[in-house]
Amino acid sequence: MTPAARRTAPPPLSAGATTLCTGETQLRTGATTLRTGETQLSAGATPPSTIAQLLQNGARALESRSDSPRLDAELLLGKILGLSRSGLIARGNDPVAAGHERAYVSLIEQRRRGVPIAYLTGTREFWSLALRVTPAVLVPRPETELLVELALQRLPEQQAGPSVDRARSILDLGTGSGAIALAIASERPGARVLGVDISPSALEVAIQNSRDLGLAHVDWRLGSWFAAVPGERFDVIVANPPYVAAADPALENLRAEPAIALCGGPTGLEALSAIAGAAAPHLHDEGWLILEHGSDQAPDVARLLERHGFTRVRSHLDFSGKPRVTLGTVHSPHQETT
């Protein structure tokens, strides 16, 4: 989990039955009200609130729930009013219509309950791409950009022309919003990129993102890990699979996100192990498998890769200095002929 997610610890939504690993990730709408100072919802007596007042009240309401309360308030009000953050500041004294204020208060309230800001605004930036996100997909994390960097280092830029034997191919397993596949595709226009996900609603988000971004050279397939690509080989296989252990208290802070994208099973290593165990026959000779994992899972993932015949196995640190990605390569020339 991210350090930010750890610090942002909203109160439990419902007592007891947190069955995140079974997919019950519904946020209950409760009776908490957001009535701080000038944020009057009742029509009539009081004059309309200004942009500056709403930002102040929203930020105050989020203080104990978010690492970036002011930024969150600005993003949410900006979304409702169709204004940039600088536009909000410039028009701080403008009155806000009651309907807009109500919509804003509702978003602030959802944020207080732990809904990620990206679900409330509907977008998230990843690798400088504006991605659409819905609760059907994991919110792309900045540390996952390390996976993209490591993949790109292993995918030389290709010039079109007769000297090129074949386009490089990349498989992204459990693609979710398509973040990793699309980031790689945006950097390697000549490559063949394929994103796979078991969730139809996640795949819809990925497909919509590829259309919005005009990255038409990405293909998408529905299915479970390698079952979606029988007999196919790739130069690079990347995955950010679910790797949080079922009993990890971190899940409590992630309950707005799809359990299927987060929870790997009792140990958290189940999906990583399934992928590491089945990847080699899907790699070209000297192809790479690159896996994101929890910051305490690097030795386990390295062992998994070695056990399945991978060499040059190495773990890499994310921007906060935590081991986050482990990779390895296979040398299996005989497989090229099969």
Contact residues for ligand GLN, defined by CB under 6 A: 1-2, 5, 138, 141, 240-244, 250, 254, 262
Residue nearest to ligand GLN (CB): 1
Nearest to 279 by CA among 243, 323, 239: 239
Q: Report the nearest approach of ligand GLN to the CB of residue 243 (Å).
A: 4
Nearest distance from C-beta of residue 268 to ligand GLN, angstroms: 8
Residue 24 or 232: the one with the smaller Cβ distance to ligand GLN is 24
By C-beta, is 204 or 270 nearer to ligand GLN? 270
The DSSP output letter for 177 is: T
**What is the torsion angle, in degrees rounded to the nearest 10, for the CA atoms of residue 312, residue 315, residue 318 and residue 322?**
-170
> Residue 267 or residue 332: which is nearer to ligand GLN going by CB?
267
Retrieve residue 153's tokens: 């280092």
| CB of 62 or CB of 271, closer to ligand GLN | 271
Closest separation between CB of residue 191 and ligand GLN, Å? 23
Residue 6 CB, shortest distance to ligand GLN, in Å, is 9
Residue (of 55, 70, 66, 54) closest to 114 by Cα position: 66
In the DSSP assignment, the letter for residue 142 is: G
Percentages helix, strand, coil for the chain (3-state, rounded to 5) are: 40, 20, 40
Cβ proximity to ligand GLN: between 112 and 141 the closer is 141
State in angstroms the smallest separation of the CB of 18 from ligand GLN: 16
The least CB distance from residue 147 to ligand GLN, in Å, is: 10
Around Cβ 298, how many Cβ atoms within 10 Å? 20
Pick 69 or 174: Cβ nearer ligand GLN? 174
User: Which helix (DSSP H) or strand (DSSP E) does residue 285 occupy?
Assistant: strand 283-292
Distance set, CA 189 to CA 128, 218, 289 (Å): 16, 10, 21
**170 SS3 class:** strand
